[in-house]
Structures are given as C-alpha cells and as structure tokens.
C-alpha cells in the first residue's frame, strides 16, 4: 500500500436515559475527500505527534471535548485508490464537555442500529462491524 495517511479516530459514546449507547458523528463537508458522508471524528497525525496527542488535539478542534481516557478499538488500513489511510481507532467514553461540531459540519448522536443505515467512507464500515 502506498504511503498511508495516519489518522486518529475517536468513537465518542454516551449512554442515554434509556440505558442505550449512542455514538456521536460528524458529517464531512462536501468539498473534502469522501465529502457528504458521516464519520467518527478525528484527523491526521502531524509530524512529531503521538497518536494520543493527535486524538486529543483533533477532538478538541473538531468537537470541543477534552479526553480523560480512551480505549484502543481497532487499526484499519484502507486504500481508496486516490489515498491510503491507516486509522487508529479509540473508544472515547470518558471526556469533559458536550460534543459539538466546530467546523460547520453536520452532527448527531446515533444508536448502533442507526449507524448501519448511514453512508460512511468505506474504511469506517469496519468500525461499525467491530462495534456490533
């Protein structure tokens, strides 16, 4: 696989009043790679950053939360033909703040059943399979 873009991804969870786990997603802006699709928030690892530093920085910038702790979930390598990615995915269920999209993108809380009905970038589908 060509040089993969390393990406830190946070699966933001919360339990609602019915004791059901919900997942926070953002919708990619139309003019970016895989635009218009839903995604778990995160972003590219910058030079000199650890995956943990990237996850903390990206979730603060994108959805304005501070991670208190997280758990590794899965690593996904995917080739989109025009771009290869390596997603380092973490469950983030311990954080300060209320997730809120900060970059003009759509947002929402969804059940696992609802996730299966949404359009995601291909690499994200492995995350949903793992959550199932």
3-state secondary structure of 40: coil
Please state, in angstroms and rounded to a whole number, the distance separating the CA atoms of residues 2 and 88. Answer: 17
Q: Which residue has the higher pLDDT, 124 or 8?
A: 8
What pLDDT digit, counting tens, does each position of 65-122 carry? 999 999 999 999 998 888 888 999 999 999 999 999 998 889 999 999 999 999 998 8
Determine the pLDDT at residue 120: 92
Strands (E), the chain: 5-15, 21-27, 38-39, 42-44, 66-79, 84-96, 106-110
- Give the architecture (CATH level 2) of 5-131: Alpha-Beta Complex (3.90)
Q: Where are the alpha helices (DSSP H) in the chain?
A: 51-63, 112-115, 125-131
**What average pLDDT score do residues 30-40 get?**
80
Rounded to 5°, the CA angle 97-39-26 comes to 45
* Percentage of the chain lying above the pLDDT 70 cut: 96
Closest by alpha carbon to 21, among 32, 8, 12?
12
Q: Residue 68 CB: number of other CB atoms within 10 A?
A: 10
Please state, in angstroms and rounded to a whole number, the distance separating the CA atoms of residues 65 and 23. Answer: 14
The CA-atom distances, in angstroms, between 82 and each of 68, 77, 112, 124 are 35, 14, 29, 17
Q: Residue 47 CB: number of other CB atoms within 10 A?
A: 4
Query: Domain ranges in the chain?
Result: 5-131
């Amino acid at each position: 696989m060509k040089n993969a873009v390393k990406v830190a991804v946070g699966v933001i969870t919360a339990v609602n009043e019915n004791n059901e786990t919900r997942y926070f997603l953002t919708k990619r802006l139309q003019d970016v790679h895989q635009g218009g699709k839903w995604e778990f928030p995160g972003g590219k690892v910058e030079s000199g950053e650890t995956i943990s530093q990237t996850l903390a920085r990206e979730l603060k910038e994108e959805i304005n939360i501070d991670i208190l702790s997280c758990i590794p979930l899965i690593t996904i390598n995917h080739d989109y033909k025009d771009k290869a990615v390596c997603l380092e995915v973490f469950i983030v269920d311990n954080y300060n703040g209320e997730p809120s999209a900060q970059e003009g993108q759509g947002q929402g809380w969804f059940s696992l059943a609802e996730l299966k009905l949404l359009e995601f970038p291909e690499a994200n589908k492995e995350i949903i399979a793992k959550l199932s």
